[in-house]
Structure 1
Amino acid sequence: MDVRSFQLADYRPVTELLETVLSEECYEQTMEAFGRQLSWDSELVLVAAVEDEIAGIIIGTIDKGRGYYYRIAVHPNYQRQGLGKELIRSLRGRFEQRNVTKIMVTADEHNEPILSLYESLGYATTDFFRSFQKLSIVAG
């Protein structure tokens, strides 16, 4: 497995992955945020490739000195094999390189089922960002 920054050639396999893994509503929200984040800072969008196949993606953003895990998706064929954890660790490294003051996990209705994944990596409920407003992944 290779975790690396998103590249333009990844666009089609990433959108197919997101469409496979996410609900329709979550997919639409994620694609909006994905496009905005790519235009602002594509270094915070990471993919996990297994033998040149995109198996997972994580989208992060930084707002006012805080790093946010926004969305993570791993193809069903690769789930429960450590890809999600590796994506989270890799994005955390990017956040730390940028000297963020705090790292938060976006805990919207779509992420609720996977919050235990973040907890298994040492994040606590105090690290979960719950808001009915869109993250400033919208506002920059």
Structure 2
Amino acid sequence: MFVRPFQLSDYASITKLFREVLSEECYEETIEAFAKQLTLDPELVLVSVLNEEIAGIIIGTIDQRNQGYYYRIAVAPECQRKGIGKALIASLKMKFTQRKVSKILVTVDVHNEPILPVYEAAGYTDNNFSRSFRHLRIVSGR
């Protein structure tokens, strides 16, 4: 398994993965944010590849205050609990560190509340969780 930046040829596999693991409402929100992040800063969209197949994706963003956010993570059901989520989180953290963000936060909404233990296993605590009372969105940062 390895993690790399998103490539346009990944699009069909990623949308299939999103449909497989996200609710319809979450899928609609995520696909819109995914498209926006690809236009703003595609380097913050990473995929994991296992046996030449897309096994997971993580979408990050950086806001106007130079804070990095984990927006959404999705891992194929058959690949869950194999360290792929942690590898994606660690790889995006490296991107944030390279960009010298002032703080790294995990965006939390009703859709990703159940996967917070993955972030906790990666060392994040409640102090790193940014809870939103509205829909999550990708912001036009730097």
TM range (shorter): over 0.9
**TM-score of the superposed pair, with normalisation by structure 2:** 0.95
User: Shift in Å at residue 134 of structure 1?
Assistant: 4.2
1:39 corresponds to: 39
Distance 2:30 2:5 in 1: 17
For 1:70, the equivalent position in structure 2 comes to 71
Distance in 2, Cα, partners of 1:25 & 1:101 = 31
Q: Which runs of 5+ in 2 are unaligned?
A: none
Aligned twin of 2:25: 25
Quote the Cα distance in structure 1 between the aligned partners of 2:10 and 2:137: 25
Contact 1:61–1:69 (CA under 8 A) maintained in structure 2: yes
- What TM-score does the superposition give when structure 1 sets the normalisation length? 0.96
Q: Say how many residue pairs are matched.
A: 140
Identify unmatched segments of 5+ residues in structure 1: none
Post-superposition offset of 1:133: 3.4
Equivalent residue number for residue 59 of structure 1: 59
Q: Which secondary structure does the structure 2 equivalent of 1:100 belong to?
A: coil
| 3-state SS of 1:137 partner | coil
Q: What pairs up with 1:1-140 in 2 under 5 angstroms?
A: 1-63=1-63, 64-135=65-136, 137-140=138-141
CA contact (8 A) 1:5 1:45 kept: yes
Q: Distance in 2 between matches of 1:135 and 1:65?
A: 17
Per-residue deviation, 1:9: 0.1
* Mapped partners of 1:27, 1:137: distance in 2: 14
* Displacement of 1:87: 0.2
- Within 1, Cα distance between the matches of 2:140 and 2:49? 30
- Distance in 1 (CA, whole Å) between partners of 2:140 and 2:100 is 21
Deviation at 1:139, TM superposition (A): 4.4
Most deviating of 126-135 and 115-124:
126-135
Alpha-carbon distance in 2 for matches of 1:138, 1:99:
18
- Percent identity between matched residues is 61
Question: RMSD of the alignment, in Å?
Answer: 1.1
